[in-house]
Amino acid sequence: MAGMPELDELVLVTVKKIMPYGAFCTLDEYEGKEAFVHISEVAPRWIKNIHEFLHEGQKLVAKVYHIEPSKNQIDLSLKRVTEAERKAKMEGSRKERRAEKLFNVAVKLAKSTKVESLAAESALVKKYGSLVDAIEEIGERGEEALAGLKIEKGLAKALVEVAAKNIKKAKAEVKGVLSLTSLSPNGVEVVRELLLSVQPPEGAQLQIHYLGAPRYQLRVVAPDFKKAERAMEAVVSSLLASAKSRGALAEFSKAES
């Protein structure tokens, strides 16, 4: 990446220098551009000694909450990053590094020129949005994923071989507890119908376990954490709306990862 990050963007940072009032960090995805985390944005509680929370060389996920382009000033927050956001960002970063590594292995295997490799990467990103998604699609669909793309034959073959050996569909899960009660005469049947009626989005799986009236555990499994989060949101939204329409009482709390 280049340029400046956007407001509220999640960024990967490395702690560079710690001061009594905060820490200077480098933005790993923006060519080492410098940003600052004030001590008040490190943790949700008062901090006596910043060294209890930060150390030089530490890798973190931060949120951009203030930018002044004219002064080249970027202010970051650690406490405004939720655990779900942190996990998703770290997972995404790990996948990006791995995809780049696998792509380079294929380039080396095919003995491709720099022009051929750049053209192939550009074509893959243009079609799939990112190298990560492209490599995962190749791993799942093989040559079919490269159909219509102008990629040198030797490199195309190497990409399929490397992806087939190294890409396995990852699974992520999100869990939570649903409290569901119906005071109607046929309340048990209403609750049963509500639980049976909900369907997860395509590509996700939903499991419901009885914990003891009126509590049920909802478990959503999807290819990655972001999709699992979105799937759970869709499931819960549907359940709450259906419960309200049937006069039932419903409340959901997500389990901490």
- Per-residue pLDDT at 256 exceeds 60: no
In the chain, list all ranges with CATH 2.40.50.140: 10-81
* Amino acid in the structure at residue 194: L
**What's the pLDDT score for residue 35?**
96
Mean pLDDT of 26-55: 93
pLDDT band of residue 169 (cuts 50, 70, 90) is low
Question: pLDDT (tens digit, 9 = 90+) per residue, 170-226?
Answer: 678 899 999 999 988 998 999 999 999 888 988 888 999 988 889 999 999 888 888
Residue 172 burial (10 A CB sphere; 0-12, 13-18, 19+): buried
**What's the pLDDT score for residue 255?**
75
**What's the pLDDT score for residue 223?**
80
- Per-residue pLDDT at 257 exceeds 70: no
In the chain, list all ranges with CATH 3.30.70.1130: 172-254
Q: How far is CA 22 from CA 39, 58, 198, 202, in A?
A: 4, 14, 47, 45
Of 213 and 253, the structure prediction assigns the larger pLDDT to 253
Residue 61 phi/psi, 5-degree rounding, is -105, 125
DSSP lists the bridge partners of residue 207 as: 219
CB contact at 8 A, 37 and 74: no
Question: pLDDT (tens digit, 9 = 90+) per residue, 237-251?
Answer: 999 999 999 999 999
The enclosing H or E element of 249 equals strand 249-254
What sign for the dihedral angle of Cα 147, 172, 94, 234?
positive
Calpha distance 178→235 (Å, rounded): 11
DSSP calls for 76-133 = EESTTS-HHHHHHHHHHHHHHHHHHHHHHHHHHHHT--HHHHHHHHHHHHHHHSSHHH
CATH topology of domain 84-166: DNA polymerase; domain 1 (1.10.150)
In the chain, list all ranges with CATH 1.10.150.190: 84-166
CATH 2.40.50.140 fits 10-81, yes or no: yes
Residue 154, classed as helix, strand or coil, is: helix
Calpha distance 112→201 (Å, rounded): 40
Architecture per CATH, 172-254: 2-Layer Sandwich (3.30)
Could you give the dihedral angle defined by the CA atoms of residues 187, 215, 238 and 173, in that order, rounded to the nearest 10 degrees?
-150
Question: pLDDT (tens digit, 9 = 90+) per residue, 83-110?
Answer: 989 988 998 888 899 999 999 999 999 9
- Per-residue pLDDT at 1 exceeds 60: no
The enclosing H or E element of 213 equals none
| Average of per-residue pLDDT values in the chain | 91
CB contact at 8 A, 76 and 109: no
% of the chain exceeding 90 in pLDDT: 73
**What's the pLDDT score for residue 70?**
87
Residue 249 phi/psi, 5-degree rounding, is -105, 125
